[in-house]
Structure 1
């Protein structure tokens, strides 16, 4: 583990492997930093950097939100400070909530490009009826942390159902860590439900928006909506991959990342 301290005194812990083009990896709201472990071996030609995000082991306070998107704004500012402290302009590679963060960071920070796998943006019709945050909050208030995170898995990772979900979760290496992150998952879902995609995202650099055919329909639609809102975007759809595409098929994802950055 390494650490840096931004100009405002914020301490940021991160891991870096390899040399080459800086590639900052931002995981989603469900997973711990270890989400990227299957991907890292395929990034030998990059300086892959995984920062410890707010709430995921950092000692940051989370004061009451000052605006509808306050939680997201604080995280974007945190990542922007980290990016500004790096040498050179990095590529941002985000998954889910990390993808939304990466795109928002790129509206102001100096980056070379963005790769966004299924950004956590809710289409208008879906957002109006979304209540996952409320469901999770009710379960957490009753002390049911495991059930709260399980509800997220059911609605986001496996919306079409899965045989013996409890057995699947028990075999999932990061499941215990995900349960520990229940409060952060709730916090991020609340931010996602409040976020409204602008007609145009002011991102001047190239963006590759990725999605999988086996993910939730609303996230596939959101990927298209984000693509349409970006001035310089490429939409890539992976046959057979779900919302966890980067961890499911890291070689395929990195091959597309390479092609995009070298085009």
Structure 2
């Protein structure tokens, strides 16, 4: 594990391989371990596998911050002028924020299961579970909080827990429990977001691939479609039979799509 020291703590990351740099940005509540299936399939690239603040081995924030600025802090630390960004869920919103606020530092983006960081939730499935999570947090019921996370983002709206691959659910539970126990604060510091992100999307000129799982929630589908329609030359693909955790449920399909995108943009 490597680290970037910040005024407010540190960022943890792995530095794997060589070639053009690709920063892997994980889902909220999880950590960089989520990218295990992709590490061998993206040979020929330098993989920078980052733990967001408040997750994994990175520090717990105590001052206001923006996730996009943390990506830039990593690139500056490594003296890298640009990098590809591959983000899942929260990581996808971070990638888009970084491109909006620091367009000259981003070579291309793959965003899976995400819109911009100015997300909105309207569907009854997500709204009810988010309310339940808030109530569990108020009771400090970590087990219930994590279970509701798994219901939302691992099982999704169309599957029971016993219909989700047990290995994926178990791995995500382990990561989520680690985040909840290591980084929980009574007064959490939430990250800032890129301003007017939806309105600024038409000005985004970096190559962009959007991936969504067919079994993800309708809110995610709508936000991803909105990004795809707004960003010039964006490519969008929906993967049949997969939920929100697309890179874990169908790792070969996910990795092949990312690799094809990276190889095409690099050659082009």
Shorter-chain TM band: 0.7 to 0.9
Q: In structure 2, how many angstroms separate the alpha carbons of the residues matched to 1:142 and 1:11? A: 29
- Contact kept in structure 2, 1:23 and 1:90, CA below 8 Å: yes
Match of 1:199 in 2: 199
Match of 1:27 in 2: 26
Match of 2:178 in 1: 180
1:82 pairs with 2:81: no
- Contact kept in structure 2, 1:54 and 1:60, CA below 8 Å: yes
Match of 2:113 in 1: 118
Match of 1:146 in 2: 143
For structure 1, the residue ranges without an aligned partner over 5 or more in a row are: 66-72
Match of 1:161 in 2: 159
Once the two structures are superposed, the pairs formed by residues 37-76 of structure 1 within 5 Å of their partners are: 37-56=36-55, 57-63=57-63, 74-76=66-68
**Secondary structure of the structure 2 residue equivalent to 1:258:** helix
Give 1:162 shift. 1.3
Q: What is the number of residues matched between the two proteins? A: 252
Q: In structure 2, how many angstroms separate the alpha carbons of the residues matched to 1:245 and 1:230? A: 22
Report Cα offsets for 1:22-74 as digits up to 9, x if no partner.
110000003221100111111112111112210113234334x6xxxxxxx52
Q: TM-score, normalised by structure 2?
A: 0.79
For structure 2, the residue ranges without an aligned partner over 5 or more in a row are: none
Give 1:251 shift. 2.0
Match of 1:251 in 2: 252
**Secondary structure of the structure 1 residue equivalent to 2:171:** coil
Residues 100/185 of structure 1: CA separation in 2 closer, same or farther (3 Å cut): farther
Residues 41/166 of structure 1: CA separation in 2 closer, same or farther (3 Å cut): closer
Q: In structure 2, how many angstroms separate the alpha carbons of the residues matched to 1:167 and 1:198? A: 34
Give 1:143 shift. 2.6
RMSD: 3.5
Report Cα offsets for 1:127-181 as digits up to 9, x if no partner.
9x93644421211222311111211222333222315479948961342331232
**Secondary structure of the structure 1 residue equivalent to 2:160:** coil
Residues 205/170 of structure 1: CA separation in 2 closer, same or farther (3 Å cut): closer
Q: In structure 1, how many angstroms separate the alpha carbons of the residues matched to 2:11 and 2:24? A: 14
Residues 144/120 of structure 1: CA separation in 2 closer, same or farther (3 Å cut): farther
